[in-house]
Chain A
Amino acid sequence: MRIKTTHFVTFITMLVFLSCKENSTKVYKISGKEIKITDSLQGIDSLKNFITPYRTHIEEVLDEPLAFSTTSLSKDQGELNTAIGNLMADITYEQSNPVFHKRTGKNIDFVLLNHGGIRASLPKGNISRRTAYQLMPFENKILVLELSSEKIEELIEYLVTNQRAHPICKQIQIVLNKDNSLNSVTINGESIDKEQTYFVATSDYLASGGDKMDFFKNPISSTDLDYLLRNELIDYFQKVDTIRASIDNRFYKQ
């Protein structure tokens, strides 16, 4: 009887309902707002308990000491080159070149990254995966672009005009005169050969027009190493015991 009642009522309700549908229900008032999630909310325990084991595992892996740095390095230390930038560009060269060589039989000529891309300082003491995540929180990966000598000259011109410590590896040296004009450029100890093309390793962000590095547009060829810059840093940290980096004369004013 009870079940029957329920059925009947449901049926009636449906009828009422269907009749409603003939005349679409009309919105007469709308209100809207943004609610900030703050620590005034405790959070639901069952969810916190669900998250905790994942967080614990991540933290263990991230904080495992991989290498040691005797000093802290910041991107503000240095004029035209910085120790941290030199470190990042040299790591990029060291980690990328074997991959590139294996794939193409060619060698990278030099590396160019961007100063803005260094997102944190390198702390003194233990260096971990977390350090790599802090330096490079984005998923940028390394591309090797084949550029004409004209494009290389544009690249040098960009660095000379910008006067910013964009990270370059030690395979390239740029010397400026006191009046900020270009004195000399060498790549692997030799001046730019107009007949030659050059292989420049950079991030996919810069290769796709970031920081207005237009000389990277329309390269002769482009090789995606499928190697995240962050993973290059982590692999390097795992390989070495002590991180050594300093300001040198790869880019300086006489």
Chain B
Amino acid sequence: MKRRQFLNSTIASTAFISAGGLSLTACNGTPKKHLTILHTNDVHSHIDPFPANHARNPNAGGVARRAQLIESIRKENPNMLLFDAGDIFQGTPYFNFYGGEIEFKLMSMLKYDAATIGNHDFDNGIEGLFTQLPHAKFNLINSNYDFKNTIMDGNVDRYKIYVKNGLKIGVFGLGIELDGLVSKKLYKETVYLDPINIAQDITKELKESENCDLVICLSHLGYQYNSDKVSDITLARNTENIDLIIGGHTHTFMDKPVVETNRKGKKVLINQVGCYGIYLGRIDFYFDANKKSSEGISIDV
């Protein structure tokens, strides 16, 4: 019986290979894939739900509830990645009392894959962030802070590639200019580098050298400004290889993701879910190996 199974599967696989050889049609068997991206930003130590009598957000948010929602989505589609776009710290006494330990432990329990670093994540100094690292079972990703001369050197990934159901998802992170926003005493020798240039270099690497199917930016730059300050909008318009920007910093609540056009005329999605864990962002990507690049993408937002 076992032998028969073996033969069957061998024959089936061999037949499949020989029929298609190593040509493009080899993928015809399972050409369709579905990837779900879930995300938060600016949770600011909001662990408990808002109270029922809260003026603006009664009964909203709460980590234990978010966990339940994430778990049910994970069951529905195990090909899921969970990200945070920074400002994990600061905003409730949980942070003042425990310095971010509970935030990191809870995010680990929720199985976050990665987070980028927000300006408030420096609030207990760069040492304060470093101290909490053992509690984070997820990657910290940032591409435009040079941590070389700081205690964080070697603890932050420039980018990370996740493989889900054979799909390669390249993720990089961008942080806001710290000078004028965070005291130098806190960020120490962290050097801010131009986000657009860095994004161009890294995404080229991710798309062309690493052959990523999808490139995601975790951004704490902020959605949009009246000035020429770099934002998610300017990032989307002035780069070429980003598919999705998960934003933060400006605490922007959106009804739905925003679609921008990049320098090459391709669509870029930007999504941000305000703050305090009131919302969870969800983006679903549907892949098909049989589609030609010339065919358009239907964006349903």
| Chain A contacts for B109, CB-based, 8 A | 47, 50
Contact status A27-B286, CB under 8 Å: yes
Q: Does A213 contact B (CB under 8 A)?
A: no
Contact status B286-A30, CB under 8 Å: yes
Contact status A47-B67, CB under 8 Å: yes
Contact status B283-A31, CB under 8 Å: yes
Contact with B along A127-161 (1 / 0, CB 8 A): 00000010000010000000000000000000000
Q: Does B149 contact A (CB under 8 A)?
A: no
Contact with A along B56-88 (1 / 0, CB 8 A): 000111111111110100000000000000000
Q: Answer whether A44 and B64 are a contact pair too, CB < 8 Å, given A31-B300, A51-B102, A57-B97.
A: yes
Nearest residue, chain B, Cβ from A43? B64
Contact status B280-A20, CB under 8 Å: no
Q: Is the interface on chain A under 10, 10 to 19, 20 to 34, or 35 or more residues?
A: 35 or more
Nearest residue, chain A, Cβ from B59? A39
Contact status B286-A29, CB under 8 Å: yes
> How long is the Cα–Cα vector from A19 to B59 in the complex, in angstroms?
50
| Chain A contacts for B49, CB-based, 8 A | 37, 39
Contact status A44-B71, CB under 8 Å: yes
User: In residues 161-197 of chain A, which contact B (Cβ within 8 Å)?
Assistant: none
Contact status B282-A27, CB under 8 Å: no
With both chains docked as a complex, state the minimum distance between the C-beta of B124 and any C-beta of chain A, in angstroms. Answer: 10
> How long is the Cα–Cα vector from A113 to B29 in the complex, in angstroms?
69
Q: Does B217 contact A (CB under 8 A)?
A: no
> How long is the Cα–Cα vector from A124 to B171 in the complex, in angstroms?
52
Q: Does A26 contact B (CB under 8 A)?
A: yes
Q: Does B194 contact A (CB under 8 A)?
A: no
> How long is the Cα–Cα vector from A36 to B282 in the complex, in angstroms?
11
| Chain B contacts for A221, CB-based, 8 A | none
Contact status A32-B284, CB under 8 Å: yes
Contact status A50-B106, CB under 8 Å: yes
Nearest residue, chain A, Cβ from B49? A39
Contact partner, A19, options B27, B61, B281, B298, Cβ 8 Å: B27
10 further interface pairs, Cβ-Cβ under 8 Å (given A17-B166, A55-B47): A12-B14, A16-B27, A26-B292, A27-B285, A27-B287, A31-B300, A33-B281, A48-B64, A54-B97, A208-B180
12 CB < 8 A contacts A-B: A1-B2, A1-B3, A16-B17, A19-B26, A22-B24, A32-B257, A33-B256, A39-B65, A41-B65, A43-B65, A44-B64, A57-B97
